[in-house]
Amino acid sequence: MVKDVTPKSMNDEQQSMQALKQYGSYIVMAIVLALGGYFGWQYWQNHGGRIDEAASTDFAKIQASEDNLANLSSATDDKAQAQLATAQATFNKDVDAFIAKHGNSVYTWQALMLKAKQQTDGNDNKGAIATLQQAMTLNIKDDGLKAIATLRYAQALLSNNQADEATKALQNPMPQAFEASKLELLGDIALSKNDKKTASDNYQKAWEMIEQRNKDNVIQQDRAFLRLKMENLGLTPKQPDLNSGIVATPAVSELPTDIASSATIASSVASTPSP
């Protein structure tokens, strides 16, 4: 299955690293959104369906503010840019006030994730690192949410050229469901150091875990971007047979297959849980 790792042209490698830096954080953020929904829903269920109505209402305002930012983000004229800057300042102020008010809650975790996303989109890597570090230290007693924050934190460190710190962050234990993503990110870190052997080993281990899942489940999953990175290193991962399955986006690829199809529903339920 695995060929000898032989370097391709420098142009190919540069393009691969550029794509990794450009899209890596968005892929991890996709995992955050879907898994955050699932584990947020689990958190709500495990706590007897108790809803913090005040936090729910306040978080809805933050979501509306974030939606407004998204609508303004594509604007190019000066007036729209000024509106975007104002909206960004308002969003940051609202998030900080929410976090101070609601403390250690799943809503606070979600607010921090949204804030980190906005900081990443604005190329504020240092700000995103600080925000994600705060998310990691929340006392929410949910290993899934902590793992998501850790993965996102390590990605932010890597984007800020802090590869060693990113590796150290990934030494924290996390649930088995996240192991493939952890290995893939360790591969990205190794590749950033031009350590192709270690990158290949980690990518291969991650892919083998995905293949094992496919053996155990009817619905086949494919991690297309991971395959691309492997192929650029001379590896030949076997593409799953998707005739009767799905192409799993990074958003659901880390979920157990039996709940993967409900990831979208769960993400919408998490912010405003209902029986």
Residue 164: what pLDDT?
A: 97
Q: What's the sign of the alpha-carbon dihedral 263, 268, 272, 275?
A: negative
User: Is 3 inside a domain boundary?
Assistant: no
Q: Look-up: residue for tokens 């900081």?
A: 119
User: Is 267 inside a domain boundary?
Assistant: yes
User: Is 118 inside a domain boundary?
Assistant: yes
Decide: 209 and 11 in contact? Cβ < 8 Å.
Answer: no
User: Is 215 inside a domain boundary?
Assistant: yes
Domain span holding position 25: 10-271
CATH of the domain at 71: 1.25.40
Decide: 93 and 81 in contact? Cβ < 8 Å.
Answer: no
Residue 82: what pLDDT?
A: 86
Q: In this predicted model, what pLDDT tens digit does every residue of 148-188 receive, in sequence order? A: 999 999 999 999 999 999 999 999 889 998 999 999 999 99
Residue 3: what pLDDT?
A: 43
Distance in angstroms (rounded) separating the CA atoms of residues 215 and 122: 41
User: Is 5 inside a domain boundary?
Assistant: no
Q: Give Cα 55 to chain centroid, integer Å.
A: 24
What is the average pLDDT score of the chain?
A: 75
pLDDT < 70: residue spans in the chain? 1-52, 241-275
User: Is 187 inside a domain boundary?
Assistant: yes
Report the candidate in 173, 95, 82, 178 with the shortest Cα–Cα distance to residue 131: 95
Q: In this predicted model, what pLDDT tens digit does every residue of 13-48 receive, in sequence order? A: 555 555 544 445 444 545 444 444 444 445 444 543
Q: What's the pTM value of the predicted model, to 2 decimals?
A: 0.70
Residue 222: what pLDDT?
A: 78
Number of domains in the chain: 1
Q: What's the sign of the alpha-carbon dihedral 164, 165, 166, 169?
A: positive
